[in-house]
Chain A
């Protein structure tokens, strides 16, 4: 039974992955959260971007207003780079020709000294 359920779990994840891959516009980055000691510290992390659009476009990923990576006639792409992220850093996916902002995303920078938020020390839904 263990193996059957294990298989089901993996199939569910993969099926859902494929299903969502066919959705319309997406612009996601990971990790979603980065911890720093103090609120003005820079968070040095490897950021992964994944994007897709409904139609073929020339697009760029911008950090604030600075281009990081561009694609020509593409409907999807992914990109990784080592970033120095600070509070308020915004990434955007824009159309190169029209300048239209297709989507934006940002990494939540949390300070362990701010104490407004804490990391959970147990796994969610771990009662059993």
Chain B
């Protein structure tokens, strides 16, 4: 939490003069971008591998109402100056640390190194792997000149975990001569059913114990810096800190945080 406090103080209280840039996109045109560089995603699960991050795609397509944007499918119902309401659907991201073929892991190379398990922890290789879940729900955004608030309310529509989640975020950006600095503060709520499906230990896991994971609240913060070089190329650096809150009580976890870092060159095709 002290990390979050540091970031908050650093960026929200000091820089006040610059403005956020609206990200506009042409309707009917596919935006395809690829960032190549170096980075990593730390895996908080016991015996879970860290993921070397070598590329980040940026894929977006917007129609008049329909859109696909970086893994999220949406249908915009209300699109006013400040208020946007959309029906959305996306894969549940909680599966990303269990498998390598989640869309969020397509561009990631698995590291062969694994840390040894401790006695009071259970390895993810010992339990039944969770299934894919498709969540669907509503997204509301309030878009101001210099900041944006977003709220998602999503429920499992694939009959996998039968739970729901709520994601709140507040984003603000500052434009400097050298580029755009963006900060996003977020809070995710995972319901009991969802959290227990992914991070509980069930009797059929056959590991000699069970564990019921309760609902959890996960704060996170992301800081990114983008510097355009020309129309197609740019530089990107980002860091995302995810606190796992009470989830880390589960025997499946060996850490109470996950950190994503990346630095690279972006290219828009």
Contacts and interface: CB of A to CB of B under 8 A. Distances in A.
Contacts of A127: 56-59, 70-71, 103-104, 107
B62 A120 contact: yes
A121 B77 CA distance: 13
B33 A119 contact: no
Looking at chain B's contact residues, is the secondary structure mostly helix, strand, loop, or mixed? strand
User: Which bucket holds chain A's interface residue count?
Assistant: 35 or more
A101 B180 CA distance: 27
A37 B81 contact: yes
A118 B67 contact: yes
B227 interface: yes
Interface stretch (A23-31, A56-64, A66-74, A87-95): A23-31
Interface string A8-39: 11101100110111000010101111111100
Contact of A31 (B103, B141, B145, B261): B145
B21 A118 contact: no
A36 B10 CA distance: 32
B175 interface: yes
B92 interface: no
Contact of B178 (A17, A48, A124): A17
Nearest to B184: A123
Q: Which of A45, A110, A118, A121 has the most CB of B within 10 A?
A: A121
Looking at chain A's contact residues, is the secondary structure mostly helix, strand, loop, or mixed? mixed
A9 B175 contact: no
Contacts of A45: 145
Given A48-B17, A116-B27, A126-B70, 13 more contacts: A2-B241, A13-B176, A13-B179, A32-B22, A35-B22, A112-B80, A120-B25, A121-B72, A122-B72, A123-B70, A123-B171, A123-B184, A128-B104
A32 B173 CA distance: 13
26 contacts: A1-B261, A2-B257, A8-B237, A9-B239, A10-B10, A13-B176, A17-B176, A31-B22, A31-B175, A32-B175, A48-B17, A50-B177, A110-B24, A112-B81, A117-B27, A118-B24, A120-B24, A120-B69, A121-B67, A123-B70, A123-B184, A124-B60, A124-B226, A125-B33, A125-B236, A127-B71
